[in-house]
């Protein structure tokens, strides 16, 4: 069997496929060492359905884990359908869940549509990322952005700033703006304008935001509304909620059996499985909770004996079918004259820049595909353009922005190094389109625990914040705090940037005015913030008649990123290139594999990580 697999790998490596994807043994000048066809297939399946093999920081500490991508199908549909989609309340009043059968049926149809659209756009985006950019990175609608799209922009059942249709139009335009920014290399430049501590804080704040949603009515319903304290305990049944105030408990809090089912099976059991390195822990927790909720006539059933429950159960019994996208396909409202649409657009742009750019850099380094000199990775411009195109196509299918998934580390840890990994992941998403009845029958309390767990994984970014200097730590803390409390990523980022400008701008002015005499005692501990000069993509440098420029490498040296290349300007181009080659050789002669760092428990590094400072 092993011999047959070796023959298969050798045959494919020697073919056009092997040369295109730069498999080991293909003879390509830049073939990727260790890449084999069968390994790529296994890695692609792993990215979709498995968790990352956990790693130990120390013998006495538990290992860190990541979830695979399959859970996003049901989670994304559950979150975005809370916006109400294209459904219109037939009464002039707000339509909470359970108060209007016609509206509830429409929202259920929207959720079924979003199951199909999430799987379809994830399949398309992942396949294109693998085929065109040759990167082992899976793509899907991002957690955090979908929550912001639903609860901050559109609002619960359409009670937000703009309509669902207008929000999709903003996402559609965002994709094409990203496409232009990516072509001219401005996307990488923009992400470096934000101080590193704030970049890390935004990720942690989004993690808390997601966890809060998982605990609230969008998940377990442990937290509900409160007429006095704004937030209080939830977990009551519909009969014990205040009239006309959905998710506000009048009494009998924490007595809903579905909440406890989600806590124990979807939460505690999932974490225990992760502790014991069980593969697919989060997915197992979600499906176990769902399976328990599927039988009818039980206190925790997802299919009550109502008109809507009968409709949902009839759809569930189909098991395998294709559900066409009807209510959310191409429903954009290009009402760009509304100022609130532009507010949403700007926020989507900057948050998505931070999210996708940071993830792609991290995954490229994890797979040893990033150049230690330029700090860029192969086909970066194509990868950003694929992401931008996928964002716009996702909007046409009715979903929030598509982004690169950090869960791609699962496949990379299994040996994925080429785009074949991402293409296989895309194929798995495509197959899941035909199992829409199963994914549509996963209740929100089954995914609530997963949201809390994923949020905790995202919150680990706080470890890399520079807590030693208050000018860096306080803005980061304000950002982390404001994102979940305001239900708005933009407000958190604005608060953090404003705090950073004040705490660092005033000392800078005093230092300049006093000639360097009035400075904070520990100012040397702050993180350097360097605005990069330019990061023109390769195709643009060729048009302008330039290759790698001196300024590019000087920028790396001043910012403390990469390797400092000390080359006199009087040196010839050939001498300059020889010096760069020698420096690169010394840098990569015996590098510590990124996977080994991860097995020790070190986090994956972003381009602005303190590791490079």
Query: What are 321's strand-pairing partners?
Result: 435
Mean pLDDT, range 593-597, rounded to an integer: 46
Q: Which residues of 499-511 are buried (b: 16+ CB within 10 A; e: fewer)?
A: bbeebbeebeeee
364: its two tokens: 């490229």
- Give the whole-angstrom CA distance, residue 36 versus residue 12: 9
Q: How far does the chain reach from its first CA to its final CA, in angstroms? A: 48
- Give the whole-angstrom CA distance, residue 533 versus residue 551: 7
pLDDT in tens, 464-480: 899 999 999 999 999 99
DSSP 483-551: HHHHT-HHHHHHHHHHHHHHHHHHHHHHHHHTTS-S--TTGGGSPP---------HHHHHHTT--S-HH
Question: What is the phi/psi pair of residue 5, to 5°?
Answer: -65, -40
pLDDT value at residue 603: 43
pLDDT in tens, 486-503: 877 778 888 998 999 999
pLDDT value at residue 610: 34
Q: 261, exposed or middle or buried, with CB in 10 Å at 0-12, 13-18, 19+? A: buried
pLDDT above 70: residue 62: no
pLDDT in tens, 422-479: 999 999 999 999 998 998 888 888 888 888 888 888 788 788 899 999 999 999 999 9
pLDDT value at residue 98: 66
Q: Give percent of the chain above pLDDT 70.
A: 80
pLDDT value at residue 61: 34
Q: What is the SS3 assignment for 298?
A: coil
DSSP 313-369: HHHHTT-SB-----SSTT-----TTSHHHHHHHHHHHHHHHHHHHHHHHHHHHHTT-
Cα 466 versus chain centre, distance: 23
Mean pLDDT, range 501-521, rounded to an integer: 92
- Give the whole-angstrom CA distance, residue 182 versus residue 464: 27
Q: What is the DSSP letter of 467?
A: T
Mean pLDDT, range 251-270, rounded to an integer: 90
pLDDT value at residue 535: 53
In Å, what is the CA distance from 196 to each residue of 181, 209, 361, 557, 605? Answer: 21, 20, 14, 17, 12
Q: Give percent of the chain above pLDDT 90.
A: 28
Residue 159: CB atoms within 10 A of its CB come to 13
Residue 603: CB atoms within 10 A of its CB come to 15
Q: 442, exposed or middle or buried, with CB in 10 Å at 0-12, 13-18, 19+? A: buried
500: its two tokens: 């950073």
pLDDT in tens, 172-213: 999 999 999 888 877 767 766 778 888 888 888 888 888 888
Q: What is the DSSP letter of 92?
A: S
pLDDT value at residue 444: 84
pLDDT above 50: residue 551: no
- Give the whole-angstrom CA distance, residue 574 versus residue 566: 15
The answer to whether 441 and 316 have CB atoms below 8 angstroms apart is yes
- Give the whole-angstrom CA distance, residue 599 versus residue 277: 14
Mean pLDDT, range 566-581, rounded to an integer: 42
Which of 307-311, 366-370, 377-381 shows the lowest per-residue confidence on average (mean pLDDT)? 366-370
pLDDT value at residue 369: 81
pLDDT value at residue 65: 39
> Which of 96-110, 122-136, 315-329, 585-599 is predicted most confidently?
122-136
pLDDT value at residue 347: 83
Q: What value does the CA radius of gyration of the chain take, rounded to a whole number of Å?
A: 25
pLDDT value at residue 541: 64
pLDDT value at residue 372: 67
Reduce the secondary structure of 393-426 to three states and give it as a string.
HHHHCCCCCEEECCCHHHHHHCCCCCHHHHHHHH
- Give the whole-angstrom CA distance, residue 595 versus residue 602: 9
Q: What is the SS3 assignment for 129?
A: helix
């Amino acid at each position: 069997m092993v011999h047959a697999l070796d023959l298969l790998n050798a045959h494919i490596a020697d073919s056009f496929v092997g040369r295109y994807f730069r498999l080991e043994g293909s003879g390509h000048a830049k073939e990727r060492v260790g890449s084999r066809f069968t390994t790529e297939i296994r890695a692609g399946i792993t990215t979709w359905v498995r968790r990352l093999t956990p790693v130990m920081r120390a013998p006495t500490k538990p290992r860190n884990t990541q979830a695979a991508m399959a859970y996003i199908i049901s989670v994304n549909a559950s979150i975005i359908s809370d916006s109400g989609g294209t459904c219109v309340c037939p009464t002039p009043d707000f339509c909470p869940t359970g108060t209007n059968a016609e509206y509830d049926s429409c929202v259920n149809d929207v959720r079924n549509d979003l199951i199909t659209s999430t799987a379809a756009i994830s399949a398309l985006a992942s396949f294109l990322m693998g085929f065109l950019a040759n990167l082992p990175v899976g793509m899907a609608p991002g957690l955090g952005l979908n929550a912001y799209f639903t609860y901050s922009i559109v609002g619960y059942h359409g009670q937000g700033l703009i309509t669902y249709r207008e929000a999709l139009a903003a996402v559609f335009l965002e994709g094409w703006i990203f496409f232009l920014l990516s072509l001219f290399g401005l996307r990488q430049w923009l992400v470096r304008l934000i101080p590193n501590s704030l970049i890390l804080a935004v990720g942690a704040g989004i993690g808390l935001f997601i966890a809060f949603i998982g605990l609230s009515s969008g998940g377990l319903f442990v937290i509900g509304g409160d007429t006095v304290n704004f937030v209080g305990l939830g977990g009551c049944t519909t009969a014990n909620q205040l009239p006309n105030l959905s998710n506000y408990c009048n009494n009998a809090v924490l007595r809903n059996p579905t909440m406890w089912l989600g806590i124990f099976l979807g939460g505690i059991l999932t974490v225990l499985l992760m502790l014991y390195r069980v593969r697919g822990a989060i997915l197992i927790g979600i499906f176990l909770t769902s399976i328990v909720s599927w039988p009818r006539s039980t206190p925790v059933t997802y299919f009550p004996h109502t008109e809507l429950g009968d409709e949902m159960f009839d759809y569930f019994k189909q098991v395998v079918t294709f559900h066409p996208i009807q209510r959310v396909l191409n429903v954009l409202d290009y009402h760009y004259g509304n100022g609130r649409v532009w507010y949403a657009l700007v926020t989507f742009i900057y948050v998505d820049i931070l999210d996708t750019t940071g993830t792609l850099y991290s995954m490229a380094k994890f797979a040893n595909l990033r150049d230690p000199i330029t700090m860029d990775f192969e086909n970066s411009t194509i990868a950003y353009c694929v992401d931008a195109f996928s964002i716009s196509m996702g909007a046409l299918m009715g979903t929030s922005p598509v982004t690169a998934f950090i869960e791609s580390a699962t496949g990379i840890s299994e040996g994925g190094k080429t785009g074949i990994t991402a293409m296989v992941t895309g194929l798995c998403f495509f197959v899941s389109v035909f199992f829409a009845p199963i994914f549509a029958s996963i209740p929100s309390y089954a995914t609530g625990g997963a949201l809390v767990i994923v949020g905790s994984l995202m919150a680990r970014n706080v470890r890399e914040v520079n807590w030693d200097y208050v000018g860096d730590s306080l803005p980061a803390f304000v950002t982390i705090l404001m994102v979940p409390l305001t239900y708005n990523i933009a407000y958190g980022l604005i608060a953090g940037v404003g705090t950073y400008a004040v705490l660092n701008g005033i000392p800078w002015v005093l230092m300049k005015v006093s000639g360097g005499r009035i400075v904070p005692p520990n100012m040397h501990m702050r993180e350097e913030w360097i605005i990069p000069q330019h990061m023109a993509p390769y195709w643009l440098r060729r048009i302008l008649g330039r290759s790698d420029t001196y300024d590019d490498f000087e920028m790396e040296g001043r910012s403390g990123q990469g390797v400092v290349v000390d080359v006199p300007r009087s040196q010839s181009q050939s001498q300059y290139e020889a010096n760069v080659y020698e420096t690169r050789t010394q840098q990569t002669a015996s590098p510590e594999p990124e996977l080994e760092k991860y097995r020790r428990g070190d986090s994956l590094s972003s381009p602005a990580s303190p590791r490079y400072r």
